[in-house]
């Protein structure tokens, strides 16, 4: 599954899980979603991937996006958060 595909399912994802993604994170990156091991190790299913964000962080990022944001743009915003640890700036119409 890619991050773009997962964005559509994010609202039903368990908050205790995290997202791991294939390096050079981008919306098309392959991902694994599951619990983070207590010892901080990488789950077997996420081999070759790195920690991107927790599910609660991803949900928070999407709540900050304007209504009607495409899955690609939503995935891009999650990647931005994973890299910079803050929400992507959003233009506000005044």
Please report, for the chain, the start and end positions of each structural domain, with discontinuous segments joined by +: 3-84
In this predicted structure, the answer to whether residue 92 has a pLDDT above a threshold of 80 is no
34, β-bridge pairs: 18
Query: What global pTM score does this model have?
Result: 0.92
- Backbone torsions φ then ψ of 30, nearest 5 degrees: -65, 140
In this predicted structure, the answer to whether residue 59 has a pLDDT above a threshold of 70 is yes
List the one residue out of 46, 45, 60 whose CA is nearest residue 13: 60
In this predicted structure, the answer to whether residue 77 has a pLDDT above a threshold of 90 is yes
The more confident residue out of 4 and 89 is 4
pLDDT in tens, 27-43: 999 999 999 999 989 99
Average pLDDT value for the chain? 94
**Could you tell me the CA-to-CA distances from 73 to 24, 29, 40, 44, 68 in Å, in that order?**
17, 14, 29, 29, 10
Average pLDDT over residues 44-67: 95
């Amino acid at each position: 599954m890619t991050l773009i595909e997962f964005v559509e399912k994010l609202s039903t994802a368990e908050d205790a899980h995290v997202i791991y993604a294939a390096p050079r994170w981008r919306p098309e990156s392959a991902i694994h979603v599951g619990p983070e091991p207590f010892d901080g190790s990488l789950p077997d299913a996420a081999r070759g991937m790195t920690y991107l964000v927790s599910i609660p962080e991803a949900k928070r990022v999407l709540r900050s996006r304007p209504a009607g944001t495409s899955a690609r743009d939503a995935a891009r915003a999650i990647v931005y958060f994973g890299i910079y640890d803050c929400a992507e700036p959003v233009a506000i119409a005044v």
